[in-house]
Amino acid sequence: MDLRELITLSIHAIAVNKLRSFLTTLGIVIGVFSIIVLVSIGSGINSYVTSQISSLGSNIFEVLPGGEGNIFGGFLSTNLKLSDSKNIQRNLAGIGKVTPILQQAAIIKYKNVKIKDAFVGGVSYEYPQVVTSLKMKYGNFFTKSQEASGAPIVVLGYKINEHFFKNRNPIGKRIYVGEKQYTVIAVADKTGTVFGAFDRDNIVYIPVELAQSQFGTSYIRQIVISADSKELIPIAIKRVETTLLKRLTKDDFTIETADSISETVSNVTNVLSLALGGIAGISLLVGGIGVANIMLVSVTERTREIGLRKALGAKRSDILKQFLLESIMISVGGGLIGIALGMAASLIIAKILVSQVTAWSILIAFGFSVLVGVVFGMAPAIRASKLNPIDALRYE
Average confidence (pLDDT) over 2-9: 70
Q: What is the per-residue pLDDT for 364? A: 82
Range of 47-51, 121-125, 303-307 with top mean pLDDT: 121-125
Q: Which amino acid is at 174?
A: R
The better pLDDT of the pair 13, 121 is held by 121
| Cβ atoms of residues 196 and 48 within 8 Å | yes
Per-residue burial over 212-243, b if 16 or more Cβ lie within 10 Å, else e, is: bebeebeebbbbbbbbeeeebbeebbebbeeb
pLDDT over threshold 50, residue 92: yes
pLDDT over threshold 60, residue 195: no
Q: Which amino acid is at 53?
A: I
pLDDT over threshold 60, residue 73: no
Q: What is the per-residue pLDDT for 209? A: 95
The residue ranges of every structural domain in the chain are 3-51+264-394, 80-247
Average confidence (pLDDT) over 186-207: 78
The count of other CB atoms within 10 Å of the CB of residue 80 is 27
Average confidence (pLDDT) over 1-25: 74
Does the predicted model carry a pTM greater than 0.75?
A: no
Q: For 254-269, what is each residue's pLDDT tens digit?
A: 888 877 766 766 777 7
113-to-166, 176, 186, 204 alpha-carbon distances in Å:
12, 10, 19, 16
The better pLDDT of the pair 307, 110 is held by 110
d(CA 326, CA 292): 11
